[in-house]
Structure 1
Amino acid sequence: MKMSVIITERLNLRKMKREDANFLQEIFSDPVAMKYYPSTKDEKQTMDWIEWTLNNYEDYGVGLWIVEDKVTGEFLGQCGIVPQEVDDEIVMEIGYLFARRAWGNGYATEAASACKHYGFEQLNLSKIVSLPDVNNIPSTKVAERIGMKVEKTIHKWGKDVLVYSVSREGEIK
């Protein structure tokens, strides 16, 4: 059973499982893919990541989802909606992180756009954010392509990150 959460034109987004650790290690062990994270992750840190995600499913009903090619089932990355603290408030963030071999195909934009629609239409969120590193141009472009605008810069995770946001008003017709 796939446990699909969202299906797009090319992608299947499904719930993460502990057995996905090897797939995630492809990204987490790649210093280029992890450039804007504090460091790469080892197997234990990857399992911690999966546990954090499973807890988010339990506590918030959302989390990062595994992104696969809809036709082949090939692992491409992860994208989803995660709770984050911004200015002492819990907000829902669209996060995305893809295997380097999958970059440049529009998968992040397609998955993030689907997550935005899911957040507004299924979860009835009033606002969704994205928190890319100020220097992560590819991630800022994804946020902009799905209709987000920069609100401000904050210091989080020991670095400066942009707060991109989009509100439900103007999205739901």
Structure 2
Amino acid sequence: MRKIVITTERLTLKEMNHDHVRDLLEIFSDPEAMTYYPSTKNIQETSEWVDWTISNYKKYGVGLWIVEDKKSGEFLGQCGIVPQEVEGSLVMEIGYLFARRAWGHGYATEAALACKHFGFEQMNLPKIVSLPDVKNIPSIKVAERIGMKVEKKIHKWGKDVFVYSVSRSSLEKNQCE
């Protein structure tokens, strides 16, 4: 039984395991969905992705989670909180990647917002980031919709990415105003 981590109005986010390799291949083998990644992934690389995710669960208590339609159980994509290095510091990033058939329905925003709440409320994180490619307008819009602001541009993964962030203190300050 896969552990349910988060539920929203329309979505269920569950821990990933090797049973999800075929589902993830829908995204990883799609050149359009993988435009902002170095390349598509084959079955072996997808299995290694699942291994990396499981190791994040064990080491950090978070990772990418499988996103499913709450009513039908249909696979939609992945979203979660993952450790990333930014300029020598370990930060927690909300990452998201969805099947093309799920684009344009607000699933990424709904899942990312739930992950933001999880990070602040369950993990007590002081700050959460998102690292979209500077050309990835849909991912940038998701980061902005969940209240993140651009901090700077950095070079990571061989390309330019924005560092979007939101801090617990900024949320608390906004709630007091």
TM-score of the two chains, using structure 2 as the length reference: 0.96
Q: Gaps (5+ residues) in structure 2? A: none
RMSD: 0.7
1:9 aligned onto 2:31: no
Amino acid at match of 1:42: N
Residue type at the aligned position of 2:39: S
Q: Could you tell me which residue of structure 1 aligns to residue 93 of structure 2?
A: 93
Between the aligned partners of 2:159 and 2:114, the Cα distance in structure 1 is 28
The alpha-carbon deviation at position 2 of structure 1 amounts to 3.6
1 or 2, which has the higher helix percentage?
2
Partners of 2:149 and 2:136 in 1: CA distance: 15
**Shift of residue 81, structure 1, vs aligned partner:** 0.1
Aligned amino acid, residue 147 of structure 1: G
Q: Which amino acid is 1:129 matched to?
A: V
- What secondary structure does 2:171 align onto? coil
Deviation at 1:134, TM superposition (A): 0.3
Identity %: 72
Alignment partners' CA distance in 2, 1:8 and 1:2: 17
Q: Determine the structure 2 residue equivalent to 1:38.
A: 38
Matches within 5 A, 1:19-168: 19-168=19-168
| In structure 1, distance between residues paired with 2:152 and 2:163 | 5
TM-superposed deviation, 1:33: 0.2
Deviation >6 Å, runs of 4+:
none
Deviations 1:50-69 (A, max 9, x none): 00000000000000000000
> Structure 1 residue 171: deviation in Å?
2.0
CA contact (8 A) 2:2 2:16 kept: no
Q: Which amino acid aligns with 1:67?
A: V
TM-score (norm 1): 0.99
